Amino acid sequence: MSNQSIVVPLISSFPGHEGRARLILRWLVQKNIVEQQATTCGRTGNGMAYAIGEGARNVVERPELLPYGKPVNGLEVVIKRCIFTPTAGFKEEAGCPACRREIGEALFDSLEDWMPGHSDNFMCPECRHEDDINGFIFLQPCAFSNLGFIFNDWADAQFKGSFLKDFAERLDQKVRLVRVDL
């Protein structure tokens, strides 16, 4: 079964997202987590991605489950506004961090305004609390941003907490790990 581990900063409109994407990619290449040149080891779009490097073994809990030798094994960098959700069985459930009420239907309906960039924020229909859409509570990990890092078939190997912490520090933003089973 194919999967993805997607690391996403918890901000809808990451300032200077293209430059930060290049900085993160350079860091991953320097640590030999991914290769420097893109090849056809991706899954989406034109299939181009940065192949898994030997250093990837150092950032996961179960290195024996990394996709070495598989045709799809690379990192795809997303630099456009995107909704990152699990595809199989995603329930679209969300809550307000202020009033703690279920507001999933209204929140997910608001993505029609969020996706084209009309707004980064969502306002709770119950208590009027407003925040970046990522500030709301989701029962299943998901994220909304113009920046994301998709690691193809790395999910079963499970990123170490220290790697995700380093990733967040380099982005200067909290991150969420979204697992997608395809």
Whether residues 129 and 42 fall in one domain: no
Is 177 among the domain residues? yes
* Residue 8 sits in the same domain as residue 58: yes
What pLDDT does residue 87 have? 78
Q: How many residues does the chain have?
A: 182
In this prediction, residue 7 carries a pLDDT of 98
Query: Are 26 and 67 members of one domain?
Result: yes
Question: Are the CB atoms for 149 and 75 separated by under 8 Å?
Answer: yes
Q: Could you tell me if 71 and 24 lie in one domain?
A: yes
Task: Return per-residue pLDDT of the chain as tens, 182 residues.
Answer: 899 999 999 999 999 999 999 999 999 999 999 999 999 999 998 999 999 999 999 999 999 999 999 999 999 999 999 999 997 789 889 999 999 999 999 999 999 999 999 999 999 999 999 999 999 999 999 999 999 999 999 999 999 999 999 999 999 999 999 999 99
Backbone angles phi, psi at 58, to 5 degrees: -85, -10
Measured over all CA atoms, what is the biggest interatomic distance in the chain, rounded to whole angstroms? 52
| CB environment 33-66: b (16+ within 10 A), e (fewer) | bbbeebeebbbeeeeebbbbbeebbebbeeeeeb
Residue 152, beta-bridge partner list: 4
172 and 114 belong to one structural domain: no
Question: Which residues, in sequence order, are bridge partners of residue 132?
Answer: 121
Cα–Cα distances in Å, from 175 out to 8, 13, 98, 141?
A: 5, 14, 21, 11
| Domain membership flag for residue 173 | yes
Please report the pLDDT score of residue 88 as a whole number: 78
- Does 75 share its domain with 119? no
Residues 134 and 151 in one domain: no
Residue ranges making up the domain that contains 16: 3-83+144-181
- Helix or strand or coil: residue 176? strand
User: What phi and psi values does residue 65 have, to the nearest 5 degrees?
Assistant: -100, 5
Residues 65 and 99 in one domain: no
Q: Assess if residue 89 is contained within a domain.
A: no
Residue 177 has a pLDDT of 98
Its pTM stands at 0.96
Could you give the CA distance from residue 174 to residue 139 in angstroms, rounded to a whole number?
18
